[in-house]
Amino acid sequence: MTAKRISQRPHPWLNLLPLCLALAVFGFVAVHLPGQGRHPVPPIALLLPFFAMLLIAWFMHRFFSGLARDVWDDGDSLKIVFAHHELRLPLRDISNLSYNGLSNPPRATLSLRHDTVCGREISFLVQRPWSLDPFRRNPIIDDLIQHIDQQRSS
């Protein structure tokens, strides 16, 4: 059986785009706002866009930093590729699979029975077939759940 990709790669710009947009807004406010009108804005007002930029950077780092780059379904195991290492995980070692399909991009988290190099939880972005129905079940996740149950029962 050939391995089937079940993940989508996290794009590098997902970390940089919101930060660049916040930096552009901060630059625009810093250049145009202080000199406008009869009542100039106090310099302390420039801190709000700066703190907003830091908050966006923190949120994007929390959401996208620990994701696996590639996840391949190889029949009785998953091949998980991170930036610097690779892990082969037997399906019987997975205790739970949680899926958040309403986030964009959709995200799945594998809870493991024991510690690995990557920890006890592994998260990745899941491929999703195009659909107008946001509540539609993901067939890739449904197949993976069936594979995990079959491996546990055997």
Residue 50 tokens read as 């700066």
Here the CATH number for the domain that contains residue 71 is 2.30.29.30
Q: For the purposes of burial, counting CB atoms within 10 Å of the CB of 55, is it exposed (0-12), middle (13-18) or buried (19 or more)? A: exposed
Look at residue 11 in the predicted model and tell me its pLDDT. Answer: 65
Query: Do 72 and 119 share a structural domain?
Result: yes
Instruction: Count how many domains the chain has.
Output: 2
Query: Do 18 and 85 share a structural domain?
Result: no
Query: Do 18 and 74 share a structural domain?
Result: no
Domain extent for 47: 13-64
Give the chain's length: 154
Look at residue 5 in the predicted model and tell me its pLDDT. Answer: 87
Mean pLDDT per segment of 10 residues, for the chain of length 154 residues? Answer: 78 67 74 65 72 79 80 90 87 91 83 89 86 83 90 83
> Which of 76, 81, 59, 93 minimizes the C-alpha distance to 125?
81
pLDDT in tens, 21-56: 777 777 777 677 666 666 666 767 667 777 877 887
Pair 67, 125: CB distance under 8 Å: yes
Query: Do 18 and 82 share a structural domain?
Result: no
Query: Do 73 and 53 share a structural domain?
Result: no
Query: Do 98 and 144 share a structural domain?
Result: yes
